[in-house]
A and B are shown apart, each in its own frame.
Chain A
Amino acid sequence: GEDVEQSLFLSVREGDSSVINCTYTDSSSTYLYWYKQEPGAGLQLLTYIFSNMDMKQDQRLTVLLNKKDKHLSLRIADTQTGDSAIYFCAESGYGIYNQGGKLIFGQGTELSVKP
């Protein structure tokens, strides 16, 4: 079945770049997403990438997709203490029309930003 894996923890210093990695198994994934979860809160969609793209940049966020290796990464430039949160990658489990809307999430990476 579909599976999404992430490392559980990442610690960086304020001002450094953070790179959070994710691997997935479903080769039919159409969209891949990054969500941010702050303590006690819901998920916030940070960004997403369509599977025919290699890279997407949105301000401090850069998403890289290696479809051949089924590897997705999220780079946060100039990481701030406010970026401390859990980051989930997710892939859509259905095909291109995605009518089901079913998302498969990774375990989440807890990002800790030290001043």
Chain B
Amino acid sequence: GAVVSQHPSWVICKSGTSVKIECRSLDFQATTMFWYRQFPKQSLMLMATSNEGSKATYEQGVEKDKFLINHASLTLSTLTVTSAHPEDSSFYICSARKGRQYNEKLFFGSGTQLSVL
């Protein structure tokens, strides 16, 4: 089956620093990747859609200068939380869409727990 690897699994950082999270599709090419954020006991909220070779599309209310997304290759997308603050502490999950199939199928990473002190 298709595997999406997300790294790191957890990270603790000081306020004001930047954190990069990687999302890799290991055995397939992902033209589209999605980044979600999940607060405790809440739903997944789509942050942005990342298409290979083009700029990411951000959802309303998501600061694109704070959450930098790069999708430079068909197997790698990165999310950088710049100048992180405690309110950015959350669980971030990426997902990748396999090909351009008619039926939607997404494969999810294992998530990254970010704690900003």
Chain A residues in the interface with B (C-beta under 8 A): 4, 8, 31, 33, 35, 40-45, 48, 50, 88, 92, 97-108
Contact = CB atoms under 8 A, between A and B. Distances in A.
Contacts, number: 65
Nearest to A96: B102
A88 B44 contact: yes
Main secondary structure of the interface of B (DSSP, over half): strand
B77 interface: no
6 contacts: A31-B103, A40-B9, A43-B93, A48-B104, A88-B44, A101-B32
B83 to A, nearest CB: 27
A4 B113 CA distance: 24
B32 A107 contact: no
Interface of B: 4, 6, 9, 32, 34, 36, 41-46, 49, 93, 95, 97, 100, 102-111, 113
Contact of A103 (B4, B6, B46, B102): B46
Which are the 8 A-B pairs with shortest beta-carbon distances?
Answer: A42-B108, A43-B108, A42-B110, A107-B43, A105-B44, A105-B43, A42-B109, A101-B97
A90 to B, nearest CB: 8
Nearest to B107: A45
Contacts of B41: 8, 107-108
Contacts of B110: 40-42
Contacts of A31: 103-104
Contacts of B93: 42-43
Contacts of A101: 32, 34, 49, 97, 104, 106
Contacts of A43: 44, 93, 95, 108
A40 B49 contact: no
Contacts of B108: 35, 42-44
A8 to B, nearest CB: 8
Given A88-B43, A102-B46, A42 B104 contact: no
Contacts of A48: 103-105
B74 to A, nearest CB: 15
Most chain B CB atoms below 10 A, which of A8, A43, A48: A43
